[in-house]
Structure 1
Amino acid sequence: MWVVQPDICDDETRFASVVHLDTIFRAAHLLPVYGKEFVPSYLNFSQSLDAFHSYYVNKYIDHHAFKIAF
């Protein structure tokens, strides 16, 4: 699996841009890289993109994702 990270600007903020819906080909299945610390029990799904610094891209989620990513 590949490891991806968000782009960071010089002032330590995350780079943001608008992505047009007609340019999205397929959704990606992201798994967080947990590290050595415990995941807090109060963490919910809406905070997961901000809580982790890098993610695995799961290209084995189904046949179509594997065919596109590989």
Structure 2
Amino acid sequence: MKGLEVARFNWVIYPCALVQWFDKVGDCVDEDTGMWIVHPSVHDNGTPNFAVIHIDTVYRAAHLIPVYGPDFITDNIEYFHSYDAFRSFYVNKFAYHHAFEITS
């Protein structure tokens, strides 16, 4: 069947999300920005740390800002490649009032 498999599923809606975890870089906020820095979490074998979580366990979305390096960013980068194009991110506590209270 040219690599295809046969499967069946029920039309049941499960309130869940596939997430990739991030780990904190260091034990305190960045001195220059006052924001935490995070990077994508990986297992010991280098594979991304993904999990399926229930939607009710999501407290609030985080706004991440790339930590830019000394090199120029290529012209052909698209916004949806940001998480793959950068190694670490600032957790933007200034995005909205509640984020400031939570991450401070």
TM-score by length of 1: 0.86
2:70 corresponds in structure 1 to 36
User: Could you report, residue by residue, the CA deviation over 1:8-58 in whole angstroms, capped at 9, with x for unpaired residues?
Assistant: 222322111112211111111100011111111111111111111100001
Q: What's the Cα RMSD here?
A: 1.2
1:51 corresponds in structure 2 to 85
- The percentage of aligned residue pairs carrying the same residue is 49
Comparing both structures, which one devotes a greater share of its residues to strand? 2
2:52 corresponds in structure 1 to 18
Structure with higher Rg: it is 2
Comparing both structures, which one devotes a greater share of its residues to helix? 1
Which runs of no fewer than 5 residues in structure 1 stay unpaired? none
Which runs of no fewer than 5 residues in structure 2 stay unpaired? 1-34
Looking at structure 2, the residues matched to 19 and 47 of structure 1 have their Cα atoms a distance apart, in angstroms, of 23
| Equivalences, count | 70
Q: Which has the higher contact order (CA 8 A, sep 6+)?
A: 1
